[in-house]
């Protein structure tokens, strides 16, 4: 991503969660905090996407369709990751590329934990400003790190992360924005700080022409609507097959136990899944260090 600007894809996925709150997989998915992290114009688009009727303005309608599609993926990946964090029950949770992830303010499993929110400095500054009025459920430490250039281990040591205690690592929606080399380097760095029993949850994208075409379409929508195009500033750089991801994680001592696509997860939750191909291209892998 560009170094001076906060992530706009972080806003987009936050909007997706706000659209889905109380509308999809009720009882399994809830994110009442997401809307509180949005600015007025971003919130207005969410309200339009939650309304039963489509806006009459064509450009607004395109944004609504895009946010509704985004919401479908957010429900599946959020529940799968929440469940993995809660199941692991660790006292240390590191969120890599946290963006506007609302877990520090809403997830009960973090009450007794210290959560390290790691993100690119520009995105982190924006997230801190937006969440200023909120109180985290547990202890929250901010760790500004550019995963392409900075030393993750040094930054985590400075922030008080304890490599001798088991950690749950959450890496949601970030892998596509890093190069393959940066992905490998990040896994190597976190593996060095992972005591036995540590859990790594990775949400990533597989390569497919439908995913690429969907992204092109979203870019077009954003351009047409003059919403500002986050996808150009944040191009996809690395897409992984489940086999390649499992092989790379195993090399670093994290054998994969589960790896499901978002369509399968949405099916289990009974949440909306009209964007079947797009959902099928997103995956959540859970790996545990023996």
Ligand X SMILES: C[S@@+](CC[C@H](N)C(=O)[O-])C[C@H]1O[C@@H](n2cnc3c(N)ncnc32)[C@H](O)[C@@H]1O
| Among 20-28, 132-140, 145-153, 159-167, the segment contacting ligand X (CB under 6 A) | 145-153
- Give the one residue of 15, 115, 123, 238 binding ligand X; rule: CB under 6 A: 123
Nearer to ligand X, 2 or 247 (CB): 2
1 binds ligand X (CB under 6 A): yes
- The answer to whether 112 and 85 are in contact (CB under 8 A) is no
Give the position of tokens 């919130």: 43
- Give the one residue of 148, 206, 212, 264 binding ligand X; rule: CB under 6 A: 148
DSSP codes, 63-118? HHHHHHHHHHHHHHHHHHHHHHHHHH--SEEEEET-TT--HHHH-GGGTTSEEEEE
- The answer to whether 134 and 33 are in contact (CB under 8 A) is yes
Pairing between strand 282-288 and 256-261?
antiparallel
13 binds ligand X (CB under 6 A): yes
Nearer to ligand X, 54 or 206 (CB): 206
| Among 3-11, 40-48, 82-90, 134-142, the segment contacting ligand X (CB under 6 A) | 3-11
Helix, strand or coil for residue 36? Answer: helix
Q: How many CB atoms lie within 10 A of CB 258?
A: 13
115 binds ligand X (CB under 6 A): no
**Site size toward ligand X, by CB under 6 A:** 22
177 binds ligand X (CB under 6 A): yes
- What residue ranges bind ligand X (CB under 6 A)? 1, 7, 9-10, 13, 97-101, 119-120, 123, 145-148, 172-174, 177-178
């Amino acid at each position: 991503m560009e170094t001076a600007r906060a992530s706009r894809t972080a806003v987009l996925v936050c909007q997706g969660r706000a659209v889905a709150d109380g509308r999809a997989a009720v009882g399994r998915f809830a994110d009442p905090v997401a809307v509180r992290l949005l600015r007025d114009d971003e919130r207005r688009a969410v309200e339009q996407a939650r309304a039963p009727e489509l806006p009459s303005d064509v450009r607004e309608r395109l944004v609504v369709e895009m946010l509704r599609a985004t919401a479908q993926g957010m429900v599946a990946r959020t529940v799968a990751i929440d469940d993995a964090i809660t199941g692991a029950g660790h006292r240390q949770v590191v969120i890599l590329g946290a963006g506007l992830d609302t877990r520090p303010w809403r997830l009960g499993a973090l009450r007794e934990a210290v959560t390290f929110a790691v993100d690119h400095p520009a995105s982190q500054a924006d997230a801190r400003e937006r969440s200023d009025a909120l109180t985290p459920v547990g202890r929250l430490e901010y760790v500004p790190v550019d995963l392409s250039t900075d030393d993750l281990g040094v930054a985590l040591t400075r922030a008080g992360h304890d490599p001798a205690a088991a950690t749950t690592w959450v890496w949601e929606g970030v892998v596509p924005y890093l190069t393959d080399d940066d992905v490998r380097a990040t896994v190597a760095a976190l593996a060095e700080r992972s005591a036995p029993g540590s859990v790594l949850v990775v949400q990533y994208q597989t390569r497919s022409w439908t995913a690429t075409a969907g992204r092109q379409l979203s870019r077009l929508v954003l351009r047409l609507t003059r919403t500002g195009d986050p996808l150009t500033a944040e191009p996809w750089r690395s897409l992984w097959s489940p086999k390649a991801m499992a092989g790379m994680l195993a090399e670093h001592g994290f054998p994969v136990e589960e790896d499901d696509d978002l369509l399968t997860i949405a099916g289990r939750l009974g949440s909306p899944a009209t964007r079947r191909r797009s959902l099928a291209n997103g995956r959540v892998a859970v790996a545990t260090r023996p």
